[in-house]
Chain A
Amino acid sequence: MSEYRRREQSITLAPFDEQLEDGSGGHDGDTTAELLTLNFGPHHPATHGVLRLLVTLQGEVVRDIKPIIGYVHTGIEKTAEDKSYWKVIPVIERMDYLSYYFNAMAFCGAVETLVEVEVPKRAQYLRVIHLELNRIMSHLVWLGTSALDLGAMSMFWYCFRERETILDLFEMSSGQRMHTRYFQVGGVIEDIPPGFAEKLRGFLEEMPGRVDQYGAILSANEIVLQRLRGTCPLDADTLLSLGVTGPLLRAAGNPWDLRKADPYSSYEDFDFKIPVGTVGDNYDRFAVRLAEIYESVKIVEQALEGLPEGPYITEDRKVALPPRHELATSMEALIHHFKLVTEGFRVPPGELYFPIESPRGELGCFVRSDGSSKPARVHMRDPSFVNLQAFSHMAKGAYIADLIATLAMLDPILGGIDR
């Protein structure tokens, strides 16, 4: 065995006594029972990506979990340091591959604050429309794959049917279905095309009924209820000390949502509620996310109806590309275009942290500028990465089947964890 393979297997689990005494969970406490260390993943359909878990089992009861990550580490933060600011957006989007608009929003928001560029109101509303559609899309993928983990096969096809409509909408506005590069520093790349609003209205009309149907299929299903209700709860204080935010924290009854608490991109203009749970078990986590889809639909409706007229990207030519038609007539525009495409824009030195509410919790982007046209440091505080720490706290003392359900309700995206 090579040194590398030997070290890979040398993860220290909790001491033997500690594992046995931990979490009595209604079991007879037979300390003579044998402990079994099971390697779970990294390639396993229930881990939602390339996540490896070292699980210590006593019979069917989970005594200890060590997550091992890094299998899809792509060094995006390092790559970003070698690109000019506007070329960072496409790589940043590929971190958490289900919430690409959020990644772009966090990065653009940080750079906009550093450059002190004003984003036009119309651009802010267009951003909100796409962010909330992305949230619905992300929750649909979560719902479909989680139901699959619980054995409900057909949910997957229903969820992906609606997801498809959202991806079609993304394709209309940006030409891409995923990793759209729609958000730019200072606004969005293009206005929404003709026909987009009608298609979106149709979708918004249809969606609440669809969520009703999902709820009817799952929340009245005895198997789903038994798998979710009362399993692996964690209280809000423990979650907060572990840094957990988003639907997991709201499921435990804490209504913390950055869209309400610290609004960005005109979220203060919209009327929406924050669904919260009561005990913070797997069922609450499920119910909170499902209820969030309705609220997102309401936000998109309001943003579409109230969409203000005006520019969709800042008029500041030092930051945003000039319109195509100006290039033929204006020397200035040509120079700005050339400068932006070759060198990019320079950002005043400084560093700041820009947090937003992603479908999984607080997504923060830390950007340090040294005054050049390339960032000196880009760091994403990815909610999946932080929330994963709560997993062993949730699942210790539970059955291995509950571990699968809890992992599904945790909704980790490995692209975001490993970056």
Chain B
Amino acid sequence: MPDATGLELIAQELRAADGAPEGATSHSPILETRFFRGRGTLVVEPERIRAVLAHLRERGYSFMSSLHGVDHYPHEPRLGVVYELLDMARVDRITVKVLLGSDAPVLESVTPDTPEGAGWPTADHQEREVYDMFGVVFRGHPDLRRILMPEDYEGHPQRRDFPIGGEPVIFTYNERQAMGDAG
């Protein structure tokens, strides 16, 4: 793990490497650095996520061990997407986090290869899960469908304000009724 100073150095490097491309709301791609229980987290400007991850990949963090969503309800911006990166040679981990508002959250997908750089194929299913559970739309994802919930499910169940229970269990006898479909 980078220590607190190391984390600041990485953040400085990313700030220096990144100019201000058009469409970005602030000049720095790094909104915040957090150091907690020996683990470093970079909170990143959503538009610059691909650039930041590409830069970290060059720095050695070339393995994406996990991508998952998190909901900070009732705080805004509410939804978070967390990227856990790993440098296998130095056995070093760093967490990159993006925060998004809850109405129509859209984020650039990191799955496909683009002209700007290589993608992270491992993110494919995991981005689909975040879309399914939190409703974050990944722009440019090759096959953005629900993955764990049924295709016609309404709502995003891992959001904190989504109630537990309260939906009918579907058996053969009440399938049509529960689906609200006469066909």
Contact = CB atoms under 8 A, between A and B. Distances in A.
B33 to A, nearest CB: 14
A156 interface: no
Interface stretch (A21-29, A32-40, A224-232, A377-385): A377-385
Given A8-B151, A350-B37, A376-B160, A243 B70 contact: no
A221 interface: no
- Which among A3, A73, A113, A351 has the greatest number of chain B C-beta atoms within 10 A? A351
B157 A78 contact: yes
B65 A113 contact: no
Interface residues of A, number: 49
Q: Is the interface of A mostly helix, strand, loop or mixed?
A: mixed
Interface stretch (A203-211, A301-309, A362-370, A404-412): A362-370
A241 B121 contact: yes
Contacts of A241: 120-122
Given A3-B152, A353-B66, A386 B164 contact: no
Contact of A243 (B122, B129, B145, B179): B122
A389 B36 contact: no
B65 A7 contact: no
Contacts of B160: 81, 376
A10 B66 CA distance: 29
Contacts of A11: 145
Nearest to A350: B36
B101 to A, nearest CB: 18
Contacts of B37: 113-114, 116, 350, 352
A113 B145 CA distance: 35
A368 B129 CA distance: 18
A389 B164 CA distance: 30
Given A1-B183, A2-B179, A243-B63, A386 B148 contact: no
Interface of A: 1-4, 7-8, 10-12, 69-70, 73, 75, 77-79, 81-82, 113-114, 116, 240-245, 256, 261-262, 350-353, 355, 362, 364, 366, 368, 376-377, 379, 381, 385-386, 388-389, 418-419
Interface of B: 36-37, 39, 62-66, 68-72, 82, 84, 88, 91, 93, 95, 120-122, 124-126, 129, 133, 143, 145-152, 157-158, 160, 162, 164, 175-176, 179, 181, 183
